[in-house]
Structure 1
Amino acid sequence: MFRLSNNLIGVLNFITFLLSVPILGGGIWLATRGGVTDCEKFLQTPLIVIGVFLMLVSLAGLVGACCRNSLLLWIYLFVMFVLIILLFCFTIFTFVVTNKGAGEVVSGRGYKEYRLGDYSHWLQKRVENSKNWARIRACLSDGKVCQSLQESNQNFQQFISDNLSPIESGCCKPPSECNFDYQSATVWNPPSTGNTSTNPDCGAWSNNQSDLCYDCQSCKAGVIANIKDKWKKIAILNIIILIFLIVVYSIGCCAFRNNRQDNGAFGWKGGYA
């Protein structure tokens, strides 16, 4: 009769194996279908890697627990231990790099504005890297993040009262300090009296709807603000996953002990975990 811990590990890894199939399938689908955007290409490799990793680890745990293979179960537990350590370190790192920076409230505006220098140096370096930003910019363009503003028929008062997202505020309009003249939500003209602001984003702004402020520092800051918000949510989710992995690891240790006992590695007699 199988031990309870072996059964639990078998069931949990079977579920994990089933979850890995659509993840791997999604990555392969993105890699093989035509007309893939740069943003989708950026996603396909992580999906394939995660899918293969989950599939192999779950198979090792499933076979190790159900077939009482101590070697496979030991490999499974080792990988689980490394994963727990990495996830713990990543969670701490996430809280550290997202602890600094916030949007600035602008008088008379319903939205906040974002400055790149307000955020952690690590995040700044990631978005200032030309290769990284080219991919992010492609994602912004492919995702049409400014489309809803382009299609709006708001007057100036309606626009400045709107609660824009960090990316909309940073990438779809020039900074307020540029004092540009409003024509529409995504069309702004330099002031007739000349621009006195030293903000380089004022010169980077373009009324070309495929450019807008995508090359502005404020756009990079808006992307970081968006990442920061999501990473904090991910960090909380990571804590829950971490607790779950520790419980699974503990059950796996019981199953490994059962295998060693049943295989008579040290001459132990069977006992129930």
Structure 2
Amino acid sequence: MNKTSLSVNLNKVALVRNTRHLGIPSVTRAATLCLQAGANGITVHPRPDERHIRGGDVSDLGELLKAWPDREFNIEGNPYHNLMDCVREQLDRKLPVHQVTFVPDSEGQFTSDHGWNLAQDADRLRRLIAQAHAWGVRVSLFMDADPQAMGAAKAVGADRVELYTEPYAAAWGTAQQAAQLARFAETARAALHAGLGVNAGHDLNRDNLSAFIQQVPGVSEVSIGHALIADALELGYTATIQGYLRCLGSSSPRPLGEG
């Protein structure tokens, strides 16, 4: 059985909520429904401008996840901006943070669209990764599908890489699909050979997810937000989560931290 975890990114729920002052839709209610349906974890990306997830959401979700000890909380963002302060505040409050995903986006960036340049950022990242490890938190680096970069990711101390999958999603259904899948598979093999865990995310959906998991070896976790929340608007959270779990070849949560 495939052992890939599904972590649900709730940024788009917060984005809709922030258009009014009514507190709906509720981020914590969305998280609860996803967890009840079998999601293995929750992901948030609290940007400095709080255009979607806010600091209060992060702490509220941490409180919620205390009641789900077999699920994970992944907080992603740029460690040069607000991410490290956010994680420190969570841990100071004795709230769970299982994984941080370092993403090299700018403060006003529309969405994450590239991985780290480790030739440029290795020294700073090494110190920040060491800090996260000192807090007892696993670190994943958001990376492009480049097999040659996996050794460098391990060298700076990362535990995992999250492969930026938008190029694969954009190639889905085109003549480039097979080549993109092969590139991601080669990168995953290089990551595993270097001793890294492999995560993946960005524009994965119910159409393209199964093929990715079947062809790309050793994927521990996928983080999915935009497509999943769009599906949930039509199908509801329960049916949507169950559909994504079927794409992953699983219908039940996997043990915390496995892989």
Common topology (TM > 0.5): no
Q: Which has the higher strand share?
A: 2
Structure holding more helix per residue: 1
TM-score bucket (shorter structure): under 0.3
Which one has the largest radius of gyration?
1
Scaled by the length of structure 1, the TM-score of the pair is: 0.23
